[in-house]
Amino acid sequence: MNVQNTVLCPQATLDVCNAIGRLMEFWGFKRNLGRIWTLLYLHPHPLTVQQIQEALVISSGASSMALQDLEHWGVAHRRWAPGERKDYWEAETDIWKMVTRVMNERERNWIREAMEVFDEGKQALLVIEKTQPDIGQLAQYQRTRVDILRLLATMGENLLIQLVQTGTINAAALKDLPTT
């Protein structure tokens, strides 16, 4: 390891980068997204791609793909220095802005997709209920349960909207979900 890497990324910094990388992976993102964002966040000045690659020991392909994803999510920004040909990268530091963007663009989409599947499933179960008397009762039971799941998804979307708009949520309505 050269002196620049030692200064840029001591072991304690790598440990923090790796911890955030594991958390990001748990939340469904690629581990390197968290590692790179954290390195940028912990560094007082923008870094070049080469500095990122050397500090985190990642390939140019991995760093390039991760930086594109980070830029897409608005959590890393490309900067140019006059007279330089290299791109420099810095982290978005507004945590709330990052979290709410992910909630609006990713989690809400997942909820909406699930609600579409619930609606389609409910219609298919209704057809089964009417056309197949031998399993009609089961289909009716399952349709009632799908209604509850749809209600839960609607409440989840409303909670996300509430959280993004106000910074708080009131999840008390979840206690009142039907149990049958």
Neighbour order of strands in the sheet with 87-91: 47-48, 87-91, 76-80
Following CA atoms 67, 55, 53, 75 in sequence, which dihedral angle do they give, to the nearest 10 degrees?
A: 0
The class level of CATH for 3-92 reads: mainly alpha
In this predicted model, which residue has the larger pLDDT, 176 or 139? 139
pLDDT band at 8 (very low <50, low <70, confident <90, very high): low
Convert the pLDDT of each residue in 74-130 to its tens digit: 999 999 888 888 999 999 999 999 999 988 889 999 999 999 999 999 999 999 999
pTM: 0.77
For 158, residues 6+ apart whose C-beta sits below 8 A from its C-beta are none
H or E stretch covering 119: helix 108-131
- Predicted confidence at residue 15, as pLDDT, reads 96
Say whether pLDDT at 25 is over 60: yes
Distance of CA 84 to the CA centre of its chain: 33
pLDDT at 155 over 60: yes
* Rounded Cα distance, 74 and 178, in Å: 39
